[in-house]
Structure 1
Amino acid sequence: MKIKKLPDNVIKLIAAGEVIDSLTAVVRELVENSLDAKANRIVVSLYPQSWSVQVADNGEGIAEEDLPLTIQPHTTSKIFQAADLSNIHTLGFRGEALHSIAQFSTITIASRIKDSNGWAIKAEKGKIVQSHPHPMALGTIVTVSDLFANTPVRRQVSPPFKKQLKKIQILLGEFALCHPHVTWQLLVDGRLVLAVSSSDSPKKIFPQLVSSFRDSDLQFLEKIIHLPDGKCFSQLKLVAGLPDRLSRPRPDWIKIGINGRVVRCPELETAIYNSYHHTLERDRFPVAFVDLRIPPQQIDWNRHPAKAEIYLDNISFWQQIIQDSLAEVFRLSPNNISQRYFNKKLEDSILKLAENKVSYNLGGGESKEEEKKTDKETKGLIKLKAVAQVRNTYIVAEYEEGIWLIEQHIAHERVLYEQLKDNWEIVPLETPIILGNLQEKQVEQLENIGLEVENFGPNLWAVRSIPKALLNRQDWEEALLELSQGGDLDYAIRAVACRTAIRNGQKLSLKQMQQIVDDWIKTKNPHTCPHGRPIYLPLEESSLFRYFRRHWVLGISHGITESPPKEGNNKKHKTPPQNEKMAKKLESLSRRKKADKTP
């Protein structure tokens, strides 16, 4: 599409011009142009000593006659009238990036479009000084040299190159998540520092960006979202770290992508935080990436010159969509149970534990009818069958791909926490509980969570109501003192859930174990307890097979060159060719011996 200068009425509607204040800003603008040109391979080269940047791509290229216009202000091929501002499908649209860069550097733009020869221009301080043919492959190469040479103060206040490099790596990683079909390379003085291969899913990009991110620790969801107006639809892609497996010490991996660009959107980030609330340990943060493709009419990019922040219509709708999607990936459905990764250290520790003397409770005595009984609410979830109890602490559950160890206390705690959160009920007591030596703050805390407390004499307080979940407990006084120590209602719910859950060390029948398992897999967040501790440990059948050597040793020495026939296969097993030759030799030798013995 041809490059044209924007009319004045459109220029007035656009936010402040591009601010080119760092190497990162230059890389961002050039990469966005490459993506708009539909490139699927982008190479970024940095030369810190000369303050130079080069971005090469294999996109559609720029026509020879359009090259001089690229460094002019407000020239673009992406919008032409005011109405286009509400229908933007590209990353860039203001037509200012190359113009702004050219004011602070020497810039060379070489490009070639289909069915044409390559051409290049060179500009210094915004003025073209060279224009000539340039043989090259299809695409564009932009080289920015001597950045900020005419503004030495800006160089002086710029952060050290290591910090700028880190920002550029993060920037390219974010682009890679939003555009997984693109192959990326980042070089510094010709040395490769980042390489990301193209993929069909952003989930496969994560391990390429951070080595500690494993594919098995992530869940991926992709779906079409029908918008409230009933006319348009959106696409959502979600990559979420499982809370019991993957978290960060800093909130640096909560990322929101909108139409191909990672942006700051505090409202949507809060929705992610809320979904992970009480699934992670204290001072740990989630790993999550949400990529939304939204009709451009619902987005206003003019909130920030670098388009780092946006205005989004109907923000509460998108918050709910994100929370519902995270709840979907947290469920223990067959689709979400990916192939688990067990490293040797973990397997050794598990199997070493198995060698120790432990007590097992097989919990017999249940009827066949109870085993066959199914709960409609578990449809769509994995099927777990409780088979034993280890040390009166862990429930051993079987499923089609292996076995799981489930800690009974924290699994039950998760169940009770969600039940109490959905239905927190305070009930009156016939006989009040008398507590002594309560401070004023403790009394206020009990009242804040809904309990009725009144003075009963000097240093005595009568508690006339209690959480319903505590009715069957005998340690009311201890529980109330714990609840009075501080915290909000959610803290109280967690404390009550922890206190009322089945204890470790308590012997359970098979029926009780199965009930805990069934209730637990139906919870909204079954991966961790409300305090962030992992609830279950899966041991895949493949891991058991490897440990018990459940595989065929193939080789001529064993007379086996292929796997035996599968069970139920009545076909005669084929004799290996090597064995056929040996059999024929033995048969021939046998016939000779018989012939020698014949008179």
Structure 2
Amino acid sequence: MSLDDPKIRQNSGRPIIRQLDETAINRIAAGEVVERPASAVKELVENALDAGATRVLVEVADGGKSLIRVTDDGCGMGADDLPLALSRHATSKIDGSDLLNIRSFGFRGEALPSLGAVGRLKITSRVAGEDAHEIRVSGGDVAPLRPAALSRGTVVELRDLFFATPARLKFMRSDRAEMQAITDVVKRLAMAEPGVGFTLKDVTEGERVILRAEAESGDLWDGLTGRLRGLIGRDFIDNAVRIEAEREGLRLMGYAALPTYSRGAAVAQFLFVNGRPVRDKQLIGALRAGYMDVLARDRHPAAALFLDCPPDRVDVNVHPAKAEVRFRDPGAVRALVVTALRQGLAQEGRRAASTVADGVLGAFRPEASGPRIYQMDRPSQASLIRARDWQAPAFEENALPWVPSARVEDSAPVPEATARPLGAARAQIHENYIIAQTDSGMVIVDAHAAHERLVYERLKRQMDDAGIARQALLIPEIVTLGSGADRLLEHAGDLAALGLVIEPFGPGTIAVRETPALLGAVAVEPLLRDILDQIDDLGGSEALRARLDAVLSRIACHGSVRTGRRMSAEEMNALLREMEATPKSGQCNHGRPTFVTLALSDIERLFGRT
């Protein structure tokens, strides 16, 4: 008997190498490709889109655990294609010769065999001019092909997901949570394809439409705008800045919401690369950097951004779920996103989200409104003056003079000023809030917050124009960072531009010779480690710039108009004019709105005049 005989190896305690069967291989692969019902929906809808579908119907029961059915009107599959589609690594998307030239959603050929290995899968399909056929697979066992009835396209029906791997069912969340995940997947794919109609239904009990997006017509921008308005909401489009930029073969387009339209969590961030929805940490980091000095730390931007680049400059073959990508030049991508966002926000920076005014009006409205009271026609100005005089209190000759609670400007409105976006100042109340009149309503300005942003932007311009002053350390500080030292030295030029001068000092060690004077006495090692962490996590570091901006913001806060100071009419109007000319003046340094606009029609509605 040979020493390599399996029985001898087993008796000797040596592990035995076995060839897994096809069913076990598919179930293992399914663990990577199909994490939850939403993953199955994603794979099946992507197959429908790759097949050229113009309408996609997704039907789900019990959060996708008992049924997922995807119907499309694509090109379909023939009798010879259906059995092959259930084989691992069989695909019509690529020929395998160039994995860097992928222009389709799917390309691995793993989805259908993986789904068939862990659930009960039925595929019915028809190619134009041929008969329809159906094939079934349950737990990896494939049934013979048979004729079926279908007018066109493909219907993929998946029942009892994970019945073949019941341990996975224990990790499923509630039906409601799984349905929410499915909705998010369909929504993101619908954003990527505005020209395709999508319908998502919950057929657990009866039939309930969860999402419907009709195919959009028009040019690229019209279609995208209509689709985003329908899926994210009109408020998003009304309070977003159009982003369009191109450099070095990369193109970025989409919408980025105003800072005052931020969110408490990153639930409204939709990122796409060559039409593929992704959750890429480099793009998320670039998005955050674009909003760096206009959002508070606990707020998150809302955006829908589409990045197009040559297929050979991005690797989508990073993870089986294809949710992550790797760029050949991540620095160029980051620079494009950050620059485009900052320029877009700066151009529209004095706008404040309309939802801010809506919130103000909502706060004014009573909880329960009684029966509507109809008023007479508005009286004439002369009648109003006579009524005011008649109701005015009589003052005794020696009584104390009446002191108004607000500074009122008695001069007649200047038409040129009221036509300006922020209008003409009329009063200051509570020694902070400026009331301005416009042709169409009124504006309430937080003078301290507004002036804080103006001073901050002025300081940043001065720092950029004159450069960042450095302070040389009497004794260079030596910091040991191990393998991180080389990665940090790659960014030495960028750090020097911000006032931090570093140079190599032996293996894994860095010498810090100069630091930004604005920071004063700085703990060098923690600063370097923060910068290194950001480089490792996001591909670039904004830590040093963020610290410099924080110091400028603090200076601006202390140097701005203080609450409690009375301003003259000239000062108030000068502040309004500077706000109109200053980027990002619609929000303070912490992301809060600096002004609220109320339309005259809204004000009249508050008083029942409509």
Q: TM-score higher than 0.5 here?
A: yes
**Is contact 2:428–2:435 with CA below 8 Å preserved after alignment?**
yes
Match for residue 150 of structure 2? 136
Which aligned pairs between 1:258-407 and structure 2 lie closer than 5 A?
258-331=273-346, 333=348, 343=358, 346=361, 349=364, 359-362=406-409, 383-391=421-429, 392-397=431-436, 401-407=440-446
Cα drift, residue 537 of structure 1 = 0.5
Could you tell me how far apart the structure 1 residues matched to 2:311 and 2:333 are?
15
Choose 151-160 or 358-367, whichever is displaced more: 358-367
Match for residue 583 of structure 2? 524
Which amino acid in 1 is paired with 2:582?
T
Cα drift, residue 540 of structure 1 = 2.6
Cα drift, residue 299 of structure 1 = 1.1
Structure 2 residue matching 1:68: 3-state secondary structure: helix
Could you tell me how far apart the structure 1 residues matched to 2:275 and 2:287 are?
19
Match of 2:47 among 33, 45, 70: 33
Could you tell me how far apart the structure 1 residues matched to 2:447 and 2:351 are?
22
Q: 1:358 to 1:31 in 2, by over 3 A?
A: farther
Structure 2 residue matching 1:502: 3-state secondary structure: coil
2:195 paired with 1:174: no
**Is contact 1:393–1:409 with CA below 8 Å preserved after alignment?**
yes
Match for residue 456 of structure 2? 417
Choose 101-110 or 537-546, whichever is displaced more: 537-546
Match for residue 160 of structure 2? 146
Could you tell me how far apart the structure 1 residues matched to 2:412 and 2:360 are?
38
Match for residue 128 of structure 2? 114
Could you tell me how far apart the structure 2 residues matched to 1:500 and 1:337 are?
23
Match for residue 234 of structure 1? 251
Q: Mark the runs of 5 or more structure 2 residues left unpaired by the alignment.
A: 1-28, 217-221, 367-387, 389-403, 470-514, 522-545
Which amino acid in 1 is paired with 2:555?
V
**Is contact 1:196–1:205 with CA below 8 Å preserved after alignment?**
no
Structure 2 residue matching 1:136: 3-state secondary structure: coil
Q: 1:545 to 1:327 in 2, by over 3 A?
A: farther
Could you tell me how far apart the structure 2 residues matched to 1:336 and 1:60 are?
47
Structure 1 residue matching 2:145: 3-state secondary structure: strand
Per-residue CA distance 1:324-360 (angstroms, 9 max, x = gap): 3323443465997897796597177399xxx9x7524
2:259 paired with 1:243: yes
Cα drift, residue 394 of structure 1 = 3.1
Could you tell me how far apart the structure 2 residues matched to 1:50 and 1:284 are?
35
Structure 2 residue matching 1:38: 3-state secondary structure: coil
Match for residue 3 of structure 2? none
2:523 paired with 1:492: no
Match for residue 573 of structure 2? 514
Match for residue 534 of structure 1? 593
**Is contact 2:349–2:583 with CA below 8 Å preserved after alignment?**
no
Could you tell me how far apart the structure 2 residues matched to 1:451 and 1:150 are?
61
Q: 1:528 to 1:350 in 2, by over 3 A?
A: farther
Match for residue 560 of structure 2? 501
Cα drift, residue 412 of structure 1 = 0.9
**Is contact 1:278–1:529 with CA below 8 Å preserved after alignment?**
no
Match for residue 91 of structure 1? 105
- Determine which structure has more spread, i.e. the larger CA radius of gyration: 1
**Is contact 1:216–1:338 with CA below 8 Å preserved after alignment?**
no
Query: Cα RMSD (Å) of the superposition?
Result: 3.9
Could you tell me how far apart the structure 1 residues matched to 2:174 and 2:443 are?
50
Choose 26-35 or 127-136, whichever is displaced more: 127-136
Q: 1:209 to 1:97 in 2, by over 3 A?
A: same
Cα drift, residue 254 of structure 1 = 2.7
Per-residue CA distance 1:219-268 (angstroms, 9 max, x = gap): 15253x4332xxx4635222x23222x33222333332112222122222
**Is contact 1:105–1:124 with CA below 8 Å preserved after alignment?**
yes
Match for residue 124 of structure 1? 138
**Is contact 2:586–2:594 with CA below 8 Å preserved after alignment?**
yes
Structure 2 residue matching 1:86: 3-state secondary structure: coil
Cα drift, residue 109 of structure 1 = 0.9
Q: Matched residue pairs, number?
A: 462
Cα drift, residue 288 of structure 1 = 2.0
**Is contact 2:436–2:443 with CA below 8 Å preserved after alignment?**
yes
**Is contact 2:76–2:126 with CA below 8 Å preserved after alignment?**
yes
Cα drift, residue 191 of structure 1 = 3.9
Could you tell me how far apart the structure 2 residues matched to 1:278 and 1:222 are?
18
